[in-house]
Amino acid sequence: MMGMLDWYRDCLRMTPRWDDAVVAHADGVWRDALLTSPWFHWAEFFPLLKEPVLDERGRPVTDARGRVLYQDRDPRQDGMEDAFMDLWEAVANARPLKKTANGQFILPHMLPPCYEMKQAQRRIKAAATEIGPCISF
């Protein structure tokens, strides 16, 4: 992922990490990398992208239904790129890519929900264990 961030910085003509690491870590390019990846909608990344709106007392603001209101988090805050990298490594290692029978790679979010997958596996197993009529020669 660090290579991808370097590529984004090069394409967008930003300060490279090897020229000035402090400036590079504060440019917020990690957010662009996340939003263009297939993992952007996973719940683990939500706290990096959004933060609750707080009132003057520091309490979260809610709407009429009692839901907490969120706003975009500033991606240039100190430590945000490091937090993203730590989380990215944890998510990418926990959810590897799968390969279909015809050789295409699919991402975990493209798979059916777990209960549907288990039902399909049970049906396949049940069909394989059924004993049909014996053919006599």
pLDDT digits (tens, 9 = 90+) for 41-96: 778 888 988 999 999 999 999 999 999 999 988 888 888 888 888 888 888 777 76
- Tell me if 130 is assigned to some domain: no
Q: pLDDT higher for 34 or 23?
A: 34
User: Helix, strand, or coil here: 68?
Assistant: strand
Contact 91, 42 (CB under 8 A): yes
113 domain residue, yes or no: no
| Residue 28 lies inside a defined structural domain of this protein | yes
Average pLDDT, the chain: 77
How does residue 137 score in pLDDT terms, banded at 50, 70 and 90? very low
Q: Residue 36 has what pLDDT?
A: 77
Could you list the residue range(s) of the whole structural domain that residue 11 is in?
A: 2-98
Q: Is residue 126 part of a domain?
A: no
pLDDT score, position 57: 93
Q: Is residue 107 part of a domain?
A: no
Domains identified in the chain, total number: 1
* Confidence check: pLDDT of 28 > 60: yes
Q: Tell whether 125 is covered by a domain.
A: no
